[in-house]
């Protein structure tokens, strides 16, 4: 299993969940120390590999996937969790902020998923691609994540397009849509009032935990989800219903 954004939060939880069920994990993050700690903390650590990589290096993505295939002995699932979020008032967003979100949250994801999909097709036998979006792709945002939700809307459309393209090869492509999850990203540049408003908007009345999202990732990577593709799966405690 290839997991991006594995140094912390949902990515780290997904890596742990995969390792717990016996999968080998190729953990990727631009935070080298953080991803090394994740890999070292997985069940049976010798089975896993940590790789420091900035996904904006588009030209190297094919080699990265090749390295993962060699390390794991084959490919099955990509859980692309990595992302960036700058919360800013609408009127303060600069072109460089917009470009950062589109480059990391959408552009890098497109070329990563394409490289992984091409490798799965060449390998044969199907596989899974799991991307990450935001409830803002439907609801919009009033909390300063304007460029982020624009990119994340693109992720859903991109994933559906990949689902059609790679479906004939037995490859499913889905998107996980996490709600208010208790991670560092949830609290970065957020006041306690904003976090509390997110909790109040959730019918379950609490923040979700990274492990609750990771369990859905493992499900989508499993044979239990073999007929689910092109879906955007809400893991929001009911904060997003559609």
User: Where are the chain's structural domains?
Assistant: 2-235
The 10s digit of each residue's pLDDT in 96-119 is: 999 999 999 999 999 999 999 999
Q: What is the pLDDT of residue 187?
A: 66
Place of tokens 């994740």: 38
Q: Is the pLDDT of residue 186 over 80?
A: no
Which band of pLDDT confidence, cut at 50, 70 and 90, is reported for residue 188? low
Q: What is the pLDDT of residue 14?
A: 98
| Cβ atoms of 132 and 87 closer than 8 Å | no
CA dihedral 41, 181, 82, 4 (to 10 degrees): 30
Catalytic residues: 148
Of 11, 102, 14, 8, the residue nearest 58 (C-alpha): 102
| Domain spanning 2-235, CATH class | alpha beta
Which band of pLDDT confidence, cut at 50, 70 and 90, is reported for residue 189? low
- C-alpha–C-alpha distance, residues 154 and 167, integer Å: 19
What proportion of the chain, given as a percentage, has pLDDT over 90?
87
The 10s digit of each residue's pLDDT in 149-165 is: 999 999 999 999 999 99
CA dihedral 241, 99, 131, 158 (to 10 degrees): 80
Q: Is the pLDDT of residue 141 over 90?
A: no
Of 43-47, 188-192, 198-202, the poorest mean pLDDT is in 188-192
Which band of pLDDT confidence, cut at 50, 70 and 90, is reported for residue 143? confident
Q: What is the pLDDT of residue 197?
A: 80
- C-alpha–C-alpha distance, residues 72 and 66, integer Å: 10
Residues 6 or more apart in contact with residue 109 via CB below 8 angstroms: 55, 80, 131, 155, 158
The residue-averaged pLDDT of 48-74 equals: 98
Q: Is the pLDDT of residue 170 over 70?
A: yes
Question: Residue 31, SS3?
Answer: coil
Task: Give me the count of residues in the chain.
Answer: 242
User: Whole-model pTM?
Assistant: 0.95
């Amino acid at each position: 299993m290839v997991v991006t954004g594995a140094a912390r939060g949902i990515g780290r939880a997904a890596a742990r969940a995969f390792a717990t069920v016996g999968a080998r994990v190729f953990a990727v993050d631009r935070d080298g120390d953080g991803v090394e700690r994740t890999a070292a903390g997985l069940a049976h650590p010798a089975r896993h590999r940590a790789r420091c990589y900035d996904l904006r290096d588009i030209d190297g993505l094919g080699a990265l996937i090749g390295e993962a295939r060699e390390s794991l002995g084959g490919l099955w699932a990509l859980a692309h969790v990595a992302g960036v979020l700058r919360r800013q008032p609408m009127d303060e967003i600069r072109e460089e902020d917009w470009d950062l979100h589109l480059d990391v949250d959408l552009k890098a994801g497109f070329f990563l998923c394409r490289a992984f999909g091409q490798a799965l097709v060449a390998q044969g036998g199907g596989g899974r691609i799991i991307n990450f979006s935001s409830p803002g792709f439907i609801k919009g945002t009033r909390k300063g994540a304007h460029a982020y939700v624009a990119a994340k809307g693109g992720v859903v459309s991109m994933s559906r397009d990949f689902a059609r393209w790679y479906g004939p090869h037995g490859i499913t492509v889905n998107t996980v849509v996490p709600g208010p999850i208790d991670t560092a990203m949830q609290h970065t540049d957020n006041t306690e009032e904003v976090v509390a408003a997110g909790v109040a908007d959730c019918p379950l009345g609490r923040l979700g935990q990274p492990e609750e999202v990771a369990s859905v990732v493992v499900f989508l990577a499993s044979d239990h989800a073999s007929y689910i593709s092109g879906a955007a799966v809400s893991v929001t405690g009911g904060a997003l219903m559609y």
